[in-house]
Amino acid sequence: MKIIRKIKLMQEYVKRQRKAGRTIGFIPTMGALHEGHLSLIRQAKKENDIVAVSIFVNPTQFGPQEDFKKYPRPLAKDVRLAKSAGASVIFNPSADEMYPAGYQTFVEVGKITQGLCGASRPGHFRGVATVVNKLFNAVPADKAYFGQKDYQQARVIQQMVKDLNIAVQVVICPIIREQDGLAMSSRNQYLNAEERKSAACLYEALKVAKAMIKSKIKETAKIKKEVRNIIESNLLAKVDYIEIVDAETLEPAKMIKGKVVIALAVYIGKTRLIDNMVIG
Ligand code: AMP
């Protein structure tokens, strides 16, 4: 399998594939690949001739106090896993290749970035939108695959693609979970054994919220309170946010109506985890 580190070479590779009549599926990642990532690669493999996976820990989407430095970077293992899931090529640029000296252009998506993780992580979605835009230019694909795990991110990318007329089809794939329901994440490896057990409370709380909605409880305040109680009954857990929002606009919902997303961000010890469930 090919590993490409330069933007120009990556663009030339895609051009050659297109010339040969092949379709390209693209999965942007920050590496430390797990079954969640691999499910996106497998889906892309089903729908395209060539599958490109980018591995780039993007400095511009991390806040100054966040985990950019300690974020895991097991490149050799990632290459092996990506290949086994069907990747044809890996794009692994350096930070200097992506942001050379003198770099000065950023992409800001509006309202949809302001709540949820956008409120807790100022500048995060500016970094995400910028890097994904740059990656789309480096790997001009037919389809790009994102996980529902990062629901707001996927919506931000859809909005950006629409607003900027980017010629890529965004595909959102389901959340892959561990046996106890914890959403797979590269950050789960920060958890010690005790924290790992506690982390199951995010999914437990989401399931209770879903059951409440099924039993026709409409007031979101009531549902959020119950979700908070479940999570806070856990000594290691500290809620960052619990929100119920419209699935399209991400505006907070007072009452359950149409398609909604229950979205959570919770610190387990020092590790911030997110999860969500789409309902309706
Ligand atoms: P990351 O490497 O964390 O930036 O994630 C790269 C892509 O994989 C994003 O589109 C994520 O939403 C997706 N992803 C991460 N974890 C999961 C998961 N547990 N299930 C499905 N997709 C995931």
Give tens-digit pLDDT for 209-238: 999 999 999 999 999 999 999 999 999 999
Residue 221: the pLDDT is: 98
Q: Model confidence over 52-70: pLDDT tens digits?
A: 999 999 999 999 999 999 9
**CB of residue 159 inside a 6 A radius of ligand 1:** no
Residue 20: the pLDDT is: 98
| d(CA 249, ligand 1 centre) in Å | 21
Residue type, 1: M
Residue type, 189: Q
| d(CA 138, ligand 1 centre) in Å | 20
Residue 150: the pLDDT is: 98
Q: Is 51 exposed, middle or buried (0-12, 13-18, 19+ CB in 10 A)?
A: buried
**CB of residue 149 inside a 6 A radius of ligand 1:** yes
Integer Cα distance of 131 and 57 in angstroms: 10
**Tens place of pLDDT per residue across the chain (280 aa):** 999 999 999 999 999 999 999 999 999 999 999 999 999 999 999 999 999 999 999 999 999 999 999 999 999 999 999 999 999 999 999 999 999 999 999 999 999 999 999 999 999 999 999 999 999 999 999 999 999 999 999 999 999 999 999 999 999 999 999 999 999 999 999 999 999 999 999 999 999 999 999 999 999 999 999 999 999 999 999 999 999 999 999 999 999 999 999 999 999 999 999 999 999 9
**CB of residue 184 inside a 6 A radius of ligand 1:** yes
Torsion of CA 139, 145, 147, 210, to 10 degrees: 150
| d(CA 34, ligand 1 centre) in Å | 9
Residue 125: the pLDDT is: 98
Residue 135: the pLDDT is: 99
| d(CA 78, ligand 1 centre) in Å | 14
The owner of tokens 């790997």 is 139
Q: How many CA atoms lie within 13 A of 121 on its CB side?
A: 25
Q: Which CATH superfamily is domain 2-173 in?
A: HUPs (3.40.50.620)
Residue 71: the pLDDT is: 98
Which residue lies with its CA nearest to atom 8 of ligand 1? 37
Integer Cα distance of 210 and 198 in angstroms: 20
**CB of residue 17 inside a 6 A radius of ligand 1:** no
Kindly give the number of the ligand 1 atom that is closest to the alpha carbon of 184: 19
| d(CA 185, ligand 1 centre) in Å | 7
Q: Which of 244, 234, 243 is nearest to 267 (CA)?
A: 234
Which residue lies with its CA nearest to atom 11 of ligand 1? 147
Kindly give the number of the ligand 1 atom that is closest to the alpha carbon of 37: 8
Pairing type for strands 50-55 and 271-279 reads unpaired
Residue 143: the pLDDT is: 98
Kindly give the number of the ligand 1 atom that is closest to the alpha carbon of 149: 12
**CB of residue 57 inside a 6 A radius of ligand 1:** no
Which residue lies with its CA nearest to atom 12 of ligand 1? 147
Kindly give the number of the ligand 1 atom that is closest to the alpha carbon of 146: 10
- Tokens for 275? 């999860």
Integer Cα distance of 79 and 276 in angstroms: 29
CB–CB of 154/146 below 8 Å?
A: yes
| d(CA 251, ligand 1 centre) in Å | 23
| Domain boundaries defined on the chain | 2-173, 186-275
Ligand 1, residues 27, 30, 34, 40: which to mutate, most atoms within 8 A of Cβ? Answer: 40
**End-to-end CA separation in angstroms for the chain:** 41
The catalytic site residues sit at 37
Beta bridge partners of 263: 243, 276
Residue 5: the pLDDT is: 98
Integer Cα distance of 108 and 127 in angstroms: 8
Residue 237: the pLDDT is: 98
Q: Which CATH superfamily is domain 186-275 in?
A: Pantoate-beta-alanine ligase, C-terminal domain (3.30.1300.10)
